[in-house]
Amino acid sequence: MNSVEPIRDVRKIQEMKEALAYYGSERDVFLFNLGINCGLRVSDLLGLKKKDIRDYTIKLREQKTRKQKQIPLYHLKEDIDRYIQFLEDEDYLFKSNKLDSDGNDKPISRVQAYRILNHSAKSIGLSEVGTHSMRKTFGYHYYKKTKDVALLMDLFNHSSQSVTLRYIGINQDVINESISNVMMNMFN
């Protein structure tokens, strides 16, 4: 299994949104935008319905950890309003074109979400991008802006700050920068 990375460059995030709009749909852009702005795992994102975000706060029990989570989304109010305006309360946010065995709507699968994100990422020259990149991108930019690793560790339910820093790629950034600085000064 290849590991995925956060999208570190803000310009690439914008390019990703444009590629998702070009190759996909409004649904795909909203999936990415919500994913990089809330830090949830894709399994939790895909199960969301209109009723879960219409008050600009996600309240859910995480599938993996079974812990209650509440995430404010007021910073996405305009995007949410635009996206959900024609949805019913019980509609999935990321509805599949396929129906379940009973003929009911269902959300896109994790595999489909991966395909959507990966295709657009490749089209703009990004590799090592998958569904988990959204969560890592949220964490990376949150940390870069706040330097609050303790709160981020809590948000991600990680056991230590070092796990969180490694998860969002900060440790690798520090290693790369350190080696570059040492090697540049060593032989020049």
What residues act catalytically?
A: 41, 64, 132, 135, 158, 167
Is 152:139 a contact under the CB 8 Å cutoff? yes
Contacts of 154 (CB under 8 A, 6+ apart): none
Two tokens at 49?
């319905």
For residue 148, the Cα-to-chain-centroid distance in whole angstroms is: 19
Cα–Cα distance between 60 and 67 in angstroms, integer? 8
For residue 4, the Cα-to-chain-centroid distance in whole angstroms is: 12
